[in-house]
Amino acid sequence: MSAEGMILPKICEDARVLHQRSPMAGIYDLTLSAPTIARSARPGQFVEVTVPHGGALLRRPLGIAETSAEEGAIRIIYRVVGRGTELLAAAGAGEMISVLGPLGHGFNVTYRHPLLVGGGMGLAPLLFFAAAHGSSSILMGGRTKAELFWEALFRPHVRAVHATTDDGSYGIEGFVTALLPKLLQEGDYDAVAVCGPPIMMERVAQMTASFSLPCEVSLERRMACGLGACLSCAVDTRSGRRKVCKDGPVFSAEEVYSNVL
């Protein structure tokens, strides 16, 4: 079901760390007990997480990578890039973390066979999409084979996994854009959803447009309030200035890229 147009409740939940592991150096896979958020979250939405031990004033935005309504849990997969994520990575089982969410508008998950295209940590929200949809395919890109630890996470949820690595250590050598035209040519996809580095998303959106398929992109901006009140995440679109936290993070590609029609 699409979250577009729905008014969803924003909940501030004291979430308990259930477990946290590191699938590769610098990347963390965190599961939190947050039953209310787990019940209402939609693929593409995110949460704002308090940095533990008062380590920073502002919460940090992180995509929801999966939910389990039965276990009342949400999963977050993130890269340590600064103080906030460093302190979060040190949180152990049983620690309490305040989580605000679910925030923003997510992906349209009503397509028959969407192709998900992700690179780096952009694969996190796409994992939620894949798990909720159950019949998508994924094209994932990473610098090396080790960066594609994601494959095992996606495999149970998707029809097919396609992979590229910059160094050719796994899948096709090159960026996702090296393989995308062939997939769009030969596959029966009816939409593309993309999340990753900005240049990758724009190229994927252009290629998808040349196959006359709808494309949604998930944008990332520095955020403060996460609720549409401070304008720190503003982005210019065809329909004027929009807020990534409230109007996005998921937008249609033609709305945000002037060279995509």
Ligand X SMILES: Cc1cc2nc3c(=O)[nH]c(=O)nc-3n(C[C@H](O)[C@H](O)[C@H](O)COP(=O)(O)OP(=O)(O)OC[C@H]3O[C@@H](n4cnc5c(N)ncnc54)[C@H](O)[C@@H]3O)c2cc1C
Binding of ligand FES by 225 (CB under 6 A): yes
With contacts defined by CB under 6 A, name the span among 102-110, 146-154, 174-182, 231-239 that binds ligand FES: 231-239
With CB under 5 to 8 Å by kind, the binding choice for 85 among ligand X, ligand FES, none is ligand X
Q: Is 100 in the site for ligand FES (CB under 6 A)?
A: no
- The reply, when asked if residue 170 is annotated as ligand binding, is no
CB of 222 to ligand FES, least distance (A): 8
Binding partner selected for residue 228 from ligand FES, ligand X, none, CB under the kind-specific 5 to 8 Å limit:
ligand FES
Contacts to ligand X by CB under 6 A: 46, 56, 60-63, 78-79, 81-85, 121, 124, 220-223, 249
**Quick check: 97 binds ligand FES (CB under 6 A)?**
no
Contact 227, 233 (CB under 8 A): no
With both helix axes pointing from N to C terminus, report the angle between 176-186 and 198-210 in degrees, rounded to the nearest 10. Answer: 20
Taking Cα atoms as reference points, which of 110, 94, 60, 63 lies closest to residue 214? 110
Q: How far is the CB of 185 from ligand X (least distance, A)?
A: 31
**Phi/psi of residue 221, nearest 5 degrees:** -135, 155
Least separation in angstroms between residue 148's CB and ligand X is 16
195 assigned to a ligand binding site: no
Q: Report the partner that residue 243 touches, choosing among ligand X, ligand FES, none (CB closer than 5 to 8 A by kind).
A: ligand FES
Among the residue ranges 52-60, 118-126, 189-197, 230-238, the one whose residues contact ligand FES (CB under 6 A): 230-238
Does 226 sit near ligand FES (CB under 6 A)?
yes
Helix or strand (DSSP H, E) at 46: strand 46-49
Sequence-distant (6+) residues with CB within 8 A of 5 are none
Place of tokens 């969410």: 101
189 labelled ligand-binding: no
245 binds ligand FES (CB under 6 A): yes
Distance CA 205, CA 219 (A): 13
Q: Is 12 annotated as a binding residue?
A: no
Residue 215 counted as an annotated binding residue: no
Long-range contacts of 85-92 (CB under 8 A, 24+ apart): 85/28, 85/60, 87/51, 87/52, 87/53, 87/55, 87/56, 88/28, 88/30, 88/49, 88/51, 88/52, 88/60, 89/20, 89/22, 89/28, 90/52, 91/17, 91/20, 91/30, 91/52, 92/17, 92/20
Nearer to ligand X, 86 or 211 (CB): 86
Q: What is the DSSP string of 173-234?
A: ES-HHHHHHHHHHHS--SEEEEES-HHHHHHHHHHHHHTT--EEEE-----SSSSSSS-TTE
Query: Which range of residues in 3-11, 96-104, 163-171, 222-230 is near ligand FES by CB under 6 A?
Result: 222-230
Contacting positions for ligand FES (CB under 6 A)? 223-226, 228-233, 243, 245
What residue numbers does the annotated binding site cover?
77-79, 84-85, 225, 230, 233, 245
